[in-house]
Structure 1
Amino acid sequence: MPDNSQVSTSFSELNLTERDKKVIWHPYTQMKNALPHIPIVRGEGVYVFDEHGKRYIDAVSSWWVNIHGHSHPHIAQKVAEQLTVLEHVIFAGFTHEPAVLLAERLLPILPGKQDKVFYTDNGSTAVEVALKMCLQYWDNKGTPKTKILAFKNAYHGDTFGAMSVSGRSIFTDAFNSLLFDVEFIDLPDESNISNLTSHISNLTDTACFIFEPLILGSGGMLMYEAKYLDELVAACKKAGILIIADEVMTGFGRTGTYFACEKLIHKPDIICLSKGLTGGTMPLGITTCTDEIFDAFLSDDKLKTLYHGHSFTANPIACVASLASLDILLQKETLANIKRIEAKHALFLQEIKAHPKVKAVRQTGTIIAIEWETGNETSYLSNLRNLLYAYFLDKGIILRPLGNIIYILPPYIISDEDLDYIYAAIKSALEEV
């Protein structure tokens, strides 16, 4: 057996960053020339603190998950209580109150009439389940449909199904030959909506349309209007195409309403949720669907079963964290904070939109994105990204640019003072970087 005391001794003279470099492979990171990873030792509210005591404003909610701030006492208390009752149990053949209660509380506030909850582990797996539901739905009905419709520049996750329905990019380059065929369409606007709806009306073998409502996140925080999305959804429904709304990023208040699809007249058949679901406490994914979808899997034929599951399906601790997060989200103070952030962003947009270095600035709800003017086409790999990232870290702000695009997507408890500090730092960067 390994001698762990010797392992500990070998690292005892190294700091956490050096120890990390010896044993960790980080996500989305070229490890050969990566900047040293900053050791974070605790979080409180909108701040995280490194081992030297430096404070950082978490202006991107730790990859868009932390909607109520770090180490929230209400969520922490509920998680601690659940740990002494039941940490986990197999969810095939068994159930538990946190899973049932979360479904009971969540389904009534979702857009449209969502009737059933299927639990998974994260956003990518929530999307995988949604795709499998749609494809098998048609197969179970005896009218197989195999094609899928999605937006160009979309991002739905890093598992193979989720990659397949995401726009082809540096994220998928190594795997493109292995991804299934998907038809990608442009984001709708006034100039193309008629052509797009006409095209959809002629589709006959399309199982589903999957989209990020109102905002394409990793694709560059690209934003589009609800009224045009609504026309696409209506056209799909008329053509017999199932609708998947990927609200992994947009859900739980990000777009100004609890869910982005609240702004649509025509509602989705399936909704994917994760990220803010647990308030950023731990992983959990949810795929919800209508009874029409669910009923297509009810059969004496066992081959019509949805054969999908995860070891940690409906983990009780994650479900309790989600319930606690919902407690906070549905408070009137939280909605007031969402509206406050939305209004602050709108004022800042007006303040900087005419700056010569601003190619574009766009905002939806609590999300604002600023696209730097570089004089040439840039990408996720742009060197400007590293310069901006380091610039804001030096000022104690975590802003993780998407190439030449920076965005603010903060926890809802962020103060006006912290927002003003971030805005001021961005204005300084426009002059100095």
Structure 2
Amino acid sequence: MTLSEKDTLYNWHPYTQHKTAFSHPVIIKGQGALLWDEHGKEFIDAIASWWVNPFGHSNTYLAQAIYNQLTQLEHVLFGGFTHEPVIRLSEKLSQILPSNQKKFFYSDNGSTAVEVAIKASLQYFYNKGQKRTKIIAFENAFHGDTFGAMAASGISFFTDAFQGSLLEVVRVPVPTEGNETKTLKALKALLETNEYAAFIFEPLVQGAAGMVMYSATVLDQLIALAKEYQVFTIADEVMTGFGKTGKNFACDYLEQQPDMMCLSKALTGGTIPMAITSFTQEIFDAFYDDDTNKALFHGHTFTANPTGCAAALAAIELLQTEEIQGNINQVNQHHLAFAERIKNHPKVQSTRVLGVIFALEIKVEGKQDYYGTLRNTLYDFFIRKGIILRPVGNIIYILPPYIINDVQLAQVYSTIEEALTLI
């Protein structure tokens, strides 16, 4: 029995309808921006394996940091103990995050980082003796698959089966160009009810919605409005964090500062699952009490895993190097040039670029399903061509490792152009 056959026999993959899906390529090796399957077929990983591998696969700097930590202390419980790597990582984060982020809560993945933020928002007001039980989010948001994160998400087929089992979340329009005033008015109307604990958003870019982008100016206005009504703001930087937008964090484009931030994905350079929720001192202080019941009773077995912390420290060191910063700028310039080259193509509705993120919207009739025929046709084409891209409906996006070279990126662009001839 082949590895692929064994995979089909045993494994249940995410976001997969196995009755209609093809067998999955068995990846056995990765190096830089490339992956190879069991038959030797080469793939360019043009989405950094779901946005987590900014420094490429099998990065020796990250591997050495992990090895060094494994040979000293692989794990220790964080309940009742602490350790040097987590202290160093929190100190480093306090230096590179917005200056109001003072406390760091560790968990396992992006969904749990959001879960912690939502729970802290609700319990803050509970601890204060106030009843605020609702959350505000954008339409078409995606914040994760655990129940709180899923409730905050607005892509319906992810959540349809669980309606009636989720906390109450009310949505406002995404403030894309021309929609800003409508969003501001909708948010203000909700805030005036004093029923909401928090407003959660993906800053500047909605990833799973198809890299939908909006301006820092309007986000500043929305955050300021929420602060005026004492509603917490949660910046979900799980996708955008650690260089994707051209700055360390999308919030670095803002004048306002969020009350909480959610971090994961590229946090450890794609090596070890880890997540962090950061908080202002004000939020932490609402849990700091002689009453034990006012503590935040949330935790994970692998909270603040020392090996993950060592990987994250090494990843941040890499991010801050001149070489990686230069690579981010170079990818951005290539994206801008490709957008200019293809924008007048008869099959292209629009393009958008921010940092290393490129998105192209295909001109089609009618609404396209998220996992519809067009998307599946494109995905299969790209895989046959040795390019890992995961279109969203009629949107093709690129979010490559920062170390992708010019030849590889040019191959991704040319394959996208070829794909447009199939439509």
> Shorter-chain-normalised TM-score: which range?
over 0.9
Measure, in 2, the Cα distance between the counterparts of 1:191 and 1:394: 39
Segment drifting more, 369-378 vs 413-422: 369-378
AA of the residue aligned to 2:295: T
The alpha-carbon deviation at position 241 of structure 1 amounts to 0.8
Q: How does 1:212-223 map to 2 (within 5 A)?
A: 212-223=202-213
Measure, in 2, the Cα distance between the counterparts of 1:61 and 1:224: 23
Measure, in 2, the Cα distance between the counterparts of 1:58 and 1:269: 34
Measure, in 2, the Cα distance between the counterparts of 1:29 and 1:195: 36
Report the 3-state secondary structure (helix = DSSP H, G, I; strand = E; otherwise coil) of the residue aligned with 2:72.
Answer: coil
Q: How does 1:64-79 map to 2 (within 5 A)?
A: 64-79=51-66
Matched, 1:340 2:330: yes
Q: 1:128 aligns with which of 115, 123, 139?
A: 115
Matched, 1:63 2:53: no
Structure 2 counterpart of 1:164: 151
Structure 2 counterpart of 1:5: none
AA of the residue aligned to 1:123: G
CA contact (8 A) 1:45 1:68 kept: yes
Q: 2:40 aligns with which of 47, 50, 53?
A: 53
Structure 1 counterpart of 2:317: 327
Q: Which runs of 5+ in 2 are unaligned?
A: none
Q: 1:378 aligns with which of 347, 368, 385?
A: 368
Q: 2:83 aligns with which of 96, 102, 105?
A: 96
Q: 1:315 aligns with which of 305, 313, 319?
A: 305
The alpha-carbon deviation at position 168 of structure 1 amounts to 4.2
Measure, in 2, the Cα distance between the counterparts of 1:252 and 1:72: 17
Structure 2 counterpart of 1:114: 101
The alpha-carbon deviation at position 192 of structure 1 amounts to 4.1
AA of the residue aligned to 1:329: L
TM-score of the two chains, using structure 1 as the length reference: 0.95
Measure, in 2, the Cα distance between the counterparts of 1:192 and 1:408: 25
Q: How does 1:102-251 map to 2 (within 5 A)?
A: 102-189=89-176, 191-201=178-188, 202-251=192-241
Structure 2 counterpart of 1:7: none
In structure 2, relative to structure 1, the CA distance for the partners of 1:108 and 1:47 (3 Å cut) is same
In structure 2, relative to structure 1, the CA distance for the partners of 1:325 and 1:262 (3 Å cut) is same
AA of the residue aligned to 1:153: N
Measure, in 2, the Cα distance between the counterparts of 1:168 and 1:16: 34
Report the 3-state secondary structure (helix = DSSP H, G, I; strand = E; otherwise coil) of the residue aligned with 1:172.
Answer: helix
AA of the residue aligned to 1:35: F
1:182-239 per-residue CA deviation (whole Å, 9 max, x = no partner) reads 1100012464433433444424121111000011111121111111111111111111
Structure 1 counterpart of 2:25: 38
Report the 3-state secondary structure (helix = DSSP H, G, I; strand = E; otherwise coil) of the residue aligned with 2:239.
Answer: coil
CA contact (8 A) 2:46 2:387 kept: yes
Measure, in 1, the Cα distance between the counterparts of 2:49 and 2:107: 21
Measure, in 2, the Cα distance between the counterparts of 1:351 and 1:170: 35
AA of the residue aligned to 1:114: Q
The alpha-carbon deviation at position 278 of structure 1 amounts to 0.3
Measure, in 1, the Cα distance between the counterparts of 2:100 and 2:230: 18
CA contact (8 A) 1:200 1:239 kept: no
1:337-380 per-residue CA deviation (whole Å, 9 max, x = no partner) reads 11111111011111111111112221111111112222221021
Matched, 1:402 2:392: yes
AA of the residue aligned to 1:232: L
Report the 3-state secondary structure (helix = DSSP H, G, I; strand = E; otherwise coil) of the residue aligned with 1:80.
Answer: helix
Structure 2 counterpart of 1:9: none
The alpha-carbon deviation at position 405 of structure 1 amounts to 1.3
Structure 2 counterpart of 1:29: 16
Segment drifting more, 185-194 vs 313-322: 185-194
Report the 3-state secondary structure (helix = DSSP H, G, I; strand = E; otherwise coil) of the residue aligned with 1:432.
Answer: coil
Report the 3-state secondary structure (helix = DSSP H, G, I; strand = E; otherwise coil) of the residue aligned with 1:134.
Answer: helix
RMSD: 1.2
Measure, in 1, the Cα distance between the counterparts of 2:176 and 2:370: 25
Structure 2 counterpart of 1:11: none
Structure 1 counterpart of 2:264: 274
Measure, in 2, the Cα distance between the counterparts of 1:200 and 1:178: 24
AA of the residue aligned to 1:305: A
AA of the residue aligned to 1:42: K
Q: Which runs of 5+ in 1 are unaligned?
A: 1-13
The alpha-carbon deviation at position 401 of structure 1 amounts to 1.1
